[in-house]
Amino acid sequence: MYLFDAHVHTAESSRCGRMPGAEVAEIYAKKGYSGIIITDHFINCNTRADRNAPWEEQVAVLMAGYKAAKARGDEIGLKVFFGFEGGSEGNDFLTYGLGEEWLLKHPESAQVPLKEYLALVRSEGGFVVHAHPYRRAHYIKCIRLLPDEVDAVEITNLCRPELDNRLAKIYAEAYGLPATAGSDAHSFEAVKDFVIGTDTPIESVADYIERVKQGRLTLA
Ligand SMILES: [Zn+2]
Ligand SMILES: [Zn+2]
């Protein structure tokens, strides 16, 4: 089985991230992973980007952790892909399938209200996964489910308690939404031995999306 993680943060781009991108690649390679997706916090979330800087500079900060991880991953044989985690009022959504070129052309993506954001990225070919939908925290205004506005649900988030994941699984099943998993690792201690398993290596973000849709992943 090939190991994969679809939800990982770096210190270069996420304010809460504790692992430099290159070291992220190293620890995942050491644990025997085939690939990972770096999903740092989007510009309107817990980013290291300066919101007053020109948009290109903000995008560069968002991409920095991924680029460092990818450069090291290329050297040591770990596939590293790009995504980002954006949202509003504490509700988080992982966006996959849109890259640097798209971001540079869409500064409004960091300004629009949540529902418009979800509609925008999905209309542009993005694939949206509701991350830890039942998470509770001081900064989260409320649990908010948008089953018609997402493509899949993170039913296993390895940073969340069992109850949150149990409810997320029921949510995904009730609405017929595809399921996926993520470690949501911000620190080396949070890097797990198993998150997602596949029968063949995941070769691209598009490949990952296709397998989520088809339910072809073994989840932690
Ligand atoms: Zn974070
Ligand atoms: Zn996260």
C-alpha of residue 16 to centroid of ligand 1, in Å? 5
Instruction: List per-residue pLDDT tens for the chain, 220 residues long.
Output: 999 999 999 999 999 999 999 999 999 999 999 999 999 999 999 999 999 999 999 999 999 999 999 999 999 999 999 999 999 999 999 999 999 999 999 999 999 999 999 999 999 999 999 999 999 999 999 999 999 999 999 999 999 999 999 999 999 999 999 999 999 999 999 999 999 999 999 999 999 999 999 999 999 9
Q: Which ligand is nearest to the CA of 45?
A: 1
Give the pLDDT score at 158: 98
Q: 45-51 — which CB contacts under 8 Å span 24+ positions?
A: 45/85, 45/86, 45/87, 45/92, 46/14, 46/15, 46/16, 47/13, 47/14, 47/15, 48/12, 48/13, 48/14, 48/15, 49/13
C-alpha of residue 187 to centroid of ligand 1, in Å? 10
Q: In DSSP terms, which residues pair with 24 in a beta bridge?
A: none
Q: Which ligand is nearest to the CA of 159?
A: 2
Q: Where in the chain are the domains?
A: 2-219
C-alpha of residue 175 to centroid of ligand 2, in Å? 23
Is the distance from CB of 25 to CB of 76 less than 8 angstroms?
yes
Q: Which ligand is nearest to the CA of 187?
A: 1
CATH topology of domain 2-219: TIM Barrel (3.20.20)
- pTM (two decimals): 0.98
